[in-house]
Amino acid sequence: MDLAYLRAHPEHLPTFLTHQRIRETPVPGGNICTASRLTLDDGHSVFAKTWPQEAGRPVPESFFATEATGLRWLREAGAVAVPEVLVTLPDLLALEWIDPGEPSAAVAERFGRELAALHRAGAPAFGARWPGFIGALPADNTPDDGPWAQWFAQARLLPYLRRSVDNGALRETDVALVEQVVARIDEFGGDEPPARIHGDLWPGNLLWGDDGRIWLVDPAAHGGHRETDLAQLALFGGPPYHERILAAYQESWPLAGGWPARMPLHQLHLLLVHTANFGAAYRDSVTRSARDALSGVGRATVDG
């Protein structure tokens, strides 16, 4: 099997894997899926993701199809580097292989400009026309005309707050803090039309390629607020040359006044996803983000 054959007959990949016609090498693949590098007969490599058998439950319906649709949608913008989707099956996703490279200021600045161009490509509504996932959790992608603040509260904060309560990750005092943020959601300002966003843009979902570009992987792609991507990018220590990414983005498409004070609000979504998925280990991060968001309400609507 070579790359041309794989593109023409993607459904044959499992058969070739079963009969060991393809060299398969395990690679790091995140917290959810089993990942491997497949080496084809023509020397090309492919990145493959499968649902782990040890997960104890079947792959969620449309899980890999949703990721493939999101990757294609981001790639269609022609702005930022996104791997080509080669195979989409119910229990397997295969993508173009990206050879890793070293982080640099020049690559970071290029990515900042490209990310701005991706966001400018826009979306027809908040949400998307396909089912949503963020990690292994479902995401409500029901298209919504906005305004953004109410959509964000109802579709991106409250569902994961409820899950975090149900699994015991958050206490009553924690819940009350987040509920205060939701109650004051209209006071933050910064409403914008829907941007085309990655939706899960923590630094681990950036691949620094040897071609001098940053590639986007593992999206929860949808129409959202561009500040959400930028806020998520700052989590968990941020990527190398983070300040250069942001500066180049700002030069290409300046953010609305008060954006720094809104960052904790946008980060609260992904942090609630973490308490919903991984439990109380992320409780303090949620409460800190909620407090920071509330303390910045007055500043969020002020230029600067």
Query: Residue 55 pLDDT > 90, yes or no?
Result: no
CB 223 within 8 A of CB 197: yes
State residue 172's pLDDT score. 97
Outline which parts of the chain fall under CATH 3.90.1200.10.
105-300
> Residue 304's pLDDT is what?
39
As a whole number of angstroms, the distance between CA 6 and CA 89 comes to 13
- Specify the pLDDT at position 256: 95
Q: Across all residues in the chain, what is the average pLDDT?
A: 94
Q: How confident is the model at residue 164 (pLDDT cuts 50, 70, 90)?
A: very high
Q: Quick check: 20 pLDDT over 90?
A: no
Residues of the chain with CATH 3.30.200.20: 3-96
DSSP codes joined into one string, 108-120: HHHHHHHHHHHHH
Q: Locate tokens 């913008």: which residue? A: 77
Name the residue among 71, 80, 149 with its Cα closest to residue 121. 80
Q: What is the mean pLDDT of residues 49-65?
A: 85
Per-residue model confidence as pLDDT tens digits over 171-223: 999 999 999 999 999 999 999 999 999 999 999 999 999 999 999 999 999 99
Residue 45's alpha-carbon distances to 39, 71, 212, 218, in angstroms, are 5, 19, 19, 18
- The pair of structure tokens assigned to 67 is 């990721």
Reported CATH class of domain 105-300: alpha beta
Tally of CB atoms within 10 A around 14: 14
Q: How far apart are CA 247 and CA 148, in angstroms?
A: 25
Contact of 210 with 239, CB cutoff 8 Å: no
Cβ atoms of 143 and 255 within 8 Å: the answer is no
Rounded to a whole number of angstroms, the distance between the first and last alpha carbons of the chain is 56
Instruction: Look at residue 302 and tell me whether its pLDDT is greater than 60.
Output: no
Closest-CA residue to 198 (of 243, 170, 239, 254): 239
Do 199 and 134 meet the contact criterion of CB atoms below 8 Å apart?
Answer: yes
Question: Could you count the other beta carbons within 10 Å of the beta carbon of residue 57?
Answer: 7
pLDDT for position 182: 98
CATH 3.30.200.20 fits 3-96, yes or no: yes
Q: What is the dihedral of CA 67, 49, 157, 131, to 10 degrees?
A: 30
Instruction: Give the whole-angstrom CA distance, residue 223 versus residue 192.
Output: 11
Identify whether the C-beta of residue 79 lies closer than 8 Å to the C-beta of residue 124: no
